[in-house]
Amino acid sequence: MDIRAIFRAATVENASSPYNTIQLKVFYPAQMSGSEQEQNFGVVPADSQQAPFKVVILFNGINCGPEVYQWLAVKLAERGLVAVTFSWIAEDLPGMVGLTPGVNVKMLTPNMYGKGPTASALPTLLTALERLQAEGVLAGLLDLDHIVLGGHSAGGRVAIESAEPQFFPQVAAAFAYGAHTAAIVQLGYAPSTILSLPDALPLLLIGGTCDGVIANSSDRYGVTWEQPTTPVQRTFQEAIAGGRNDSYLLLLEGANHFSIADPFDFTTGRPFLDLPATQPEAQLRDLMAEAIGLFIDAHVRSQAPAIETLKQLLSNNSLVASFECK
């Protein structure tokens, strides 16, 4: 299968220049045509036989370049999905300029949490998708009623916190790696607080047993975590009620905070806090991608056999520390 990508730029209406531009890279299943436009400009048509394409938006971790998630975007596109990565340099906190998934800090405060999305980039991204649906190689080929939000670290957090139909009715499911909803004490929360999630849509939480960034960031939450996976497990246990059998917790044995990133970039973010991975990271990423793909197949693409395939994939697997569903 041919996978191609196109670039777009979008303006964030409520942001000030120069921090008001988001750059998107949109990956899609393609079909080589041999046309003049393809030969001269590299514009390859989408494989319309696989349309309409459900869309996955990938939210990066803070100061993690979108290119480190390209491997996942390509694997998702190989399954017949459209995957979007993006780059937004902004000032989420005064004086702190960096690459952001878009975190609306105001919506994380005690009096505002749960009243609106924490993913400040999402409205702009959804508008950009509507433009792609109107013109270009993906025109008329997108299923914008079934959008999946996924992400890593802070990007994973805003993805799962914003997967609420009352905020965005077009969102159908969410997943996150290395993310949790522990509350920051500096915002006025009591130590060890786990904030609730919308709990309205299918959810997949993935964590690694060697996540040193989570382990070494516990002071933000007024507690020392018993294990690197503790806040991820508590998010699954306390932030959602479950009961629909479409919420999952997958803990990967030996994975660290940046096992999802390839190629790994040691120059930005906080990789110096991480622990060494103890399992082959290429194998961990393959397992992540397959689990995410089967989760989407089962709960967004309505492929019932995918649920059993997912359970079989994760049972008696040396890379899996634990797997739960509720």
Per-position DSSP letters for 59-118, written without gaps between them = EPPTT--GGGGHHHHHHHHHTT-EEEEEE-EEEEETTEEEE-S-B-GGGGSTTTTTSS-S
What is the reported pLDDT for 40?
61
Q: Encoding tokens for residue 199?
A: 């709990």
Q: What is the pLDDT of residue 37?
A: 74
175 contacts 204 by C-beta, under 8 angstroms = yes
Packed helices 281-299 and 305-314: angle between N→C axes, nearest 10 degrees:
160
Under DSSP, the state recorded for 296 is H
For the purposes of burial, counting CB atoms within 10 Å of the CB of 294, is it exposed (0-12), middle (13-18) or buried (19 or more)?
A: buried
Q: Which domains are assigned to the chain?
A: 2-325 (3.40.50.1820)
- 262/252 Cα distance (integer angstroms): 17
| Structural contact between residues 156 and 59, judged by C-beta atoms closer than 8 angstroms | yes
Q: Map residue 313 onto helix, strand or coil.
A: helix
Instruction: Please answer whether residues 207 and 252 qualify as being in contact, where contact means their C-beta atoms are separated by less than 8 angstroms.
Output: yes
CA angle 119, 151, 149 (to 5 degrees): 65
Would you state the pLDDT for residue 313? 95
pLDDT at 1 (0 to 100):
79
**Cα gap 69→247, rounded to integer Å:** 23
pTM for the whole thing?
0.96
Token look-up 């979008």 returns 10
Q: Are 137 and 26 in contact (CB under 8 A)?
A: no
Quote the crossing angle between the two packed helices 281-299 and 70-78, to the nearest 10°.
50
CB count, 10 Å around CB of 270?
A: 17
C-alpha–C-alpha distance, residues 185 and 162, integer Å: 21
Considering only CA atoms, which of 164, 254, 182 is closest in space to residue 224?
Answer: 182
CB 194 within 8 A of CB 231: yes
Report the run of H or E that residue 322 belongs to, with start and end. Answer: strand 320-325
Nearest Cα to Cα of residue 61 among 51, 49, 47, 72:
72
3-state secondary structure (DSSP) of residue 20: coil
Q: Where are the alpha helices (DSSP H) in 42-194?
A: 70-78, 122-134, 154-161
**Confidence at residue 123, expressed as pLDDT on a 0 to 100 scale:** 97
Per-residue pLDDT of the chain (326 residues; tens, 9 = 90+): 799 999 999 999 989 999 999 999 999 999 887 776 777 667 889 999 999 999 999 999 999 999 999 999 999 999 999 999 999 999 877 788 999 999 999 999 999 999 999 999 999 999 999 999 999 999 999 999 999 999 999 999 999 999 999 999 999 999 999 999 999 999 999 999 999 999 999 999 999 999 999 999 999 999 999 999 999 999 999 999 999 999 999 999 999 999 999 999 999 989 999 999 999 999 999 999 999 999 999 999 999 999 999 999 999 899 999 999 99
Is there a contact between 28 and 138 (Cβ–Cβ < 8 Å)? Answer: yes
In the chain the first and final C-alpha atoms are separated, in Å, by 35
CA separation for the pair 160, 173 (Å, rounded): 8
